[in-house]
A = this chain, B = another copy of it.
Amino acid sequence: MNKKVREKFIMDTLYKKGKISVNQIIEKFNVTSMTARRDIAKLAEEGYLIRTHGGAILADPLENMFSFATRIEANKKHKIDIGRKAAKFVRDNESIYIDSGTTLIRMCPFLKDRKGLTVITNSLPAASELSNYSNIRVTILGGDIIHERRSIYGHTAVEQAKKYSVKKAFIGTDGVSLKNGLTAYGNNESQVSNVMASSANEVFLLCDSSKIEHDSTFKFAELSSIDYLITDSGIDKKILQKYKKNKVNIIIA
Question: Which A residues fall within an 8 A CB radius of B?
Answer: 1-5, 7-8, 11-12, 15-16, 19, 21-22, 48, 50, 52-57, 64-66, 68-70, 124-125, 127-128, 130-134, 137-145, 147-148, 150, 152, 156-157, 160, 163
Contacts and interface: CB of A to CB of B under 8 A. Distances in A.
B66 A4 contact: no
B52 A3 contact: yes
Given A1-B21, A3-B53, A53-B3, A142 B145 contact: no
A139 B150 CA distance: 11
Copies in the complex: 2
3 nearest CB pairs, A to B: A142-B142, A1-B54, A11-B66
23 contacts: A1-B19, A1-B21, A1-B22, A1-B53, A1-B55, A1-B56, A1-B57, A4-B65, A5-B57, A8-B65, A48-B66, A65-B128, A68-B132, A125-B128, A127-B145, A130-B145, A131-B145, A131-B147, A133-B147, A134-B148, A142-B142, A142-B156, A160-B160
Contact of A19 (B5, B22, B163): B5
A124 B128 contact: yes
A42 to B, nearest CB: 13
A131 B150 contact: yes
A142 B128 contact: no
Contacts of A133: 147
Nearest to A22: B1
